Amino acid sequence: MCDPCASVLSCARENLLPLARKHLLPLALDHLLPILKEAVNMIRGVPNDEIAHMKHELETIEEFIHQADKMADAEEYNPSDGTREKIKQLIEASFRIQDVIDEYINCVEQQLPDPGCA
């Protein structure tokens, strides 16, 4: 590395990094911490009755999907119209949604009480 490059890096290390630590880091934390706290509170703040309602809605949708699946098995449907594939995708999506809801419920149940950290 040439002397001018080395001196620029040395100058940046000695002058810019301390300024960034002193001024930019607190500024970033002042803006990012409230956003992160809000996101955590949003996740924690979902009421249990809302989760139960979403689970009930999913069960209703799953029942509809299974009815459509039975109808697609009947001879009256043309298997080449893509109905079977769409139903398969809906079933897979409902399983993923159910997994997310179950994982959330497990996470909430295992959550330790908030120690009240500031």
CA atoms within 13 A on the CB side of 40: 8
Alpha helices (H) along 1-118: 3-11, 17-19, 25-44, 48-73, 83-110
The Cα angle at residue 106 between residues 56 and 38, in degrees rounded to 5: 90
Residue with tokens 């880091």: 25
Q: Give 32 or 107, the one with higher predicted confidence.
A: 107
Q: What's the distance, CA 2 to chain centroid?
A: 48
Q: What percent of the chain lies above the pLDDT cut of 90?
A: 0
Token readout for 11 is 């100058």
Where in the chain are the domains? Answer: 1-45, 47-118
pLDDT in tens, 29-67: 676 667 766 766 666 666 777 777 878 888 887 777 777
What's the rounded Cα separation, in Å, for the pair 30 and 80?
Answer: 57
Mean pLDDT of the chain: 70
